[in-house]
Amino acid sequence: MAIQPRRWVRNRLRLRAMGEWQRLAEATGGMTLRRLRELQDDARGLRRSADRFIASAQSRLDSVQRPVDLADLPRGTDWRWRPPFLSTRIAPSGIAAPASGTWLGEQAAVWHDCPAGALILRQMPNRGAADLAPFGLLLETLGFSGSYLSVSVTLPDAARDGLTRAHIIRLDVTLTVERPMSIYARLNIGHGPNTDTLLRHLGDIAPGPEPVAREIEFDLHYVEMNEKRLEKLWLDLIFEAPQMNAVRIRDLFLSRHLRADV
């Protein structure tokens, strides 16, 4: 790669300036009060410029669409999707003390039986280098006194188009928790007057320095669904014993593929 002289010089100047301010920070004890005031004014001006750059850079990074596909989707995958609240900025970006059934965006709703609605649901920018989704969803419970809490995600019409009992729907989810929590995923399939469900346990999720990734599959072979009368598909994430916790969904990716012939 060819060296760009101007960029090299600018990088060297920035590094030299950073080193100079580090040296000055360590030398304040030997400075006169007048010199301290002069440098303090300079530092405040530098901080304002740095803050403007950080805000502008973050706004640009937040607006960039990151890759929407996972790298290891099964061969024959014929549909893939990430909910809009993880892909684009939504307004409002959060709701506090929501009533059961309140929607965040067009395809996510929160369901609970807490009388005080002691929870907060909000969209948060993802800023980790490994994050595939531009945004995450943060669910905070503050003295939650209900017996159940779930977030439902409505799947788009394309998920139903051509769907058969030979399909497997795959869920890839990445999340973090503040305290240990057991989480379930339930796929709901509405066909005619009936609704069939498939329940899977994501596991007992523990807090840690790195997000927890889970991959599960819903095999539609076990659903007695009427393929010609499919009306609605939705996914429920069910949070067990959520009394005081914070769950951040960093990614949720759904795909489908045909079951391999045996």
Token readout for 257 is 């593929």
Tell me the C-alpha to C-alpha distance, in Å, between residue 46 and each of 18, 41, 52, 53, 181: 11, 9, 10, 11, 44
Rounded CA-CA distance 168/177 in Å is: 28
The dihedral built from the CA positions of residue 79, 189, 234 and 202, taken in this order, carries a sign that is negative
Q: In this model, does residue 7 exceed pLDDT 90?
A: no
How far, in Å, CA of 186 to CA of 153, rounded?
A: 10
pLDDT tens digits, one per residue of 216-252? 999 999 998 999 999 999 999 999 988 899 999 999 9
Domain ranges (residues) in the chain: 5-65, 76-258
| Structure confidence at residue 11 (pLDDT) | 85
E strand residue ranges, 50-132: 79-81, 94-96, 102-103, 108-112, 119-125
Q: Is 141 helix (H, G, I), strand (E, B) or coil?
A: strand
CA–CA gap between residue 122 and residue 110 (Å, rounded): 11
- Per-residue model confidence (pLDDT) at position 123: 94
| Better pLDDT: 57 or 249 | 249
Q: How far is CA 174 from the centre of its chain?
A: 8
What average pLDDT does this structure show over 135-144? 92
pLDDT band at 70 (very low <50, low <70, confident <90, very high): low
Which CATH number is 76-258 given?
2.60.120.260
Q: Name the pLDDT band for 261 (thresholds 50, 70, 90).
A: low
49 pLDDT band, cuts 50/70/90, is confident
Q: Identify the H or E element spanning 157.
A: none
Give the DSSP H or E segment for 220: none
Please check the confidence at residue 121 and state whether its pLDDT lies above 70: yes
pLDDT per position as a tens digit, 75-107 = 889 999 999 999 888 888 999 999 999 998 888
- Per DSSP, 67 falls in state P
Q: Which two tokens stand for residue 138?
A: 């943060």
The pLDDT value given to residue 105: 84
Amino acid at 67: P
Read off the DSSP letter of residue 115.
T
Conformation bin of residue 192: beta by default, left when phi > 0, alpha when psi is -120 to 50:
left
Mean pLDDT of the chain: 89
